Amino acid sequence: MRLLYQFGVILTITFLGEGLHALIPLPIPASIYGLVLMLLALCTKTVKLRQVKVAADFLLDIMPPMFIPAAAGLVVVWGDLQEMLVPAVVTVTVTTVAVMAVTGRTAQSIIRRKKRREAGR
């Protein structure tokens, strides 16, 4: 029953993200609205982590197998993809490195700020 409740909370916030996507005329996917709403709900303690943790962990655990059908679908269009393979690999590599660098710097910044706050107490 607890798992159903947690899925319900996640689905409600996802639905609200879909609603925002329909209302706000910006080229932002509904899933991003949902993620921002979930972040705000968790930060403001409107939704407590314990209210969604089990369901969220389950969804994270099953995420990798969800990509298998998409990867298998690439085999079907392999002939069309061959001509753009090098630009795609370069783009994916560059953006992956950029995301890793920005994420690392952001995490370091947050850790430093937290240590300064703790040292000031």
Domain ranges of the chain: 1-66, 77-121
Q: What is the mean pLDDT of the chain?
A: 92
CB 59 within 8 A of CB 6: no
- Selection from 16, 2, 22, 3 nearest residue 46 by Cα: 16
Q: Is the pTM of this model over 0.85?
A: no
Q: What is the pLDDT of residue 120?
A: 78
pLDDT at site 67: 83
Backbone angles phi and psi of 110, in degrees to 5: -65, -40
Ranges in the chain, pLDDT < 50: none
